[in-house]
Amino acid sequence: MSHNISDMKQQFLEYVEIEKGRSVKTVENYDHYLTRFIAFSKIEDAEDISAEAVREFRLALNRQDLKKKTQNYYLIALRSFLKFLSKRGIESLSPEQIELAKVGERPLDLISGDELRRLLDAPEGNDLKALRDRAILELLFSTGLRVSELCSLTRDVDFDADSFSIRGKGEKIRVVFISDDARRAVKAYLAKRTDVSDALFVRTSVDPARTDALALDRRSIERTVKYWAIKAGISKKVTPHVIRHSFATDLLHNGADLRSVQLLLGHSSISTTQIYTHVSDNELKRVHKLFHNRNNKR
């Protein structure tokens, strides 16, 4: 019995969204990757996916000068699709036959401790925008939240407590902790608010009576971080994710174990968290050079 590949792709996307609980953006990406594979291979039945078809598709991607990491996104989507077919009892190419391209270790975008302090101190004044932006920066560093998680926060969060729960990637819930500095910054900002929106972070030039379309989106938060980084005299590219990196490396430098950092960041796999150990290794190398030198013994 044949199974139309486009029909099976649609069933797979619905499965990913509903049963696996992936975000709409993830579903859209999977749709894009699989649609390109189907159009390239001209395969009509899901059973006809072959190692040769995948090999030719990989060659085509590689000859488009796509980065290995980007090529792997296509392969991960295709492998997930094949696992779905297997679960449905449809005989096709084994997912295990698709190997990801080897990629170099991802370099971390980092800022120094001094640059971080300058960034956090950059929003001065007691106007609503300065108070809001200070709260954004302090909360990002205190919690290690992803920018999407920060955007989802509402005023319902109890900022008198030391922690709160957040629904993160893959709809997984984790606990994040808030520092005294972040708590004070958020409460000072909320005390200045006059609008009635439920969103925690909102645009400042709005009608206070409006309850809709006030929340800052991802781009707005990114622009805010970039603006204050420039104001702080930081020449590097600074994003909310760079602050998340700073959160993780700060924990490791101060003795936190990798498993705890994994839980605080909301990583599903500890291998993702391990990229931060290289930063700690660099710090150890610096300490070794500073304190273990033959010149010091003369």
Contact predicate 264/166, CB 8 Å: no
Q: Which two tokens stand for residue 147?
A: 């920018």
Q: What are phi and psi of 174, to 5 degrees?
A: -140, 165
Active-site hit among 146, 183, 189, 245: 146
Residue 85 amino acid letter: L
Among residues 88, 169, 184, 193, the one annotated as catalytic is 169
d(CA 265, CA 248): 8
Q: In degrees, to the nearest 5, what angle opens at C-alpha 42 toward C-alphas 36 and 48?
A: 105
CA torsion, points 240, 244, 250, 251, in degrees to nearest 10?
A: 160
* Active-site hit among 88, 231, 241, 278: 241
Cα gap 200→185, rounded to integer Å:
12
Select which of 134, 183, 244, 245 is catalytic: 244
3-state SS assignment for residue 45: strand
**Residue 241 among the catalytic residues:** yes
DSSP at 161: S
Residue 169 annotated to the active site: yes
What is the spatial distance between Cα 145 and Cα 139, in angstroms, rounded to a whole number?
Answer: 8
* CA 206 to mean position of chain CA atoms: 29
Handedness of CA 190, 198, 24, 171 (dihedral sign): positive
Say which residues have a Cβ less than 8 Å from residue 268's Cβ, sequence separation at least 6. 169, 170, 172
One-letter amino acid for residue 36 of the chain? R
* Catalytic (active-site) positions: 146, 169, 241, 244, 267, 276
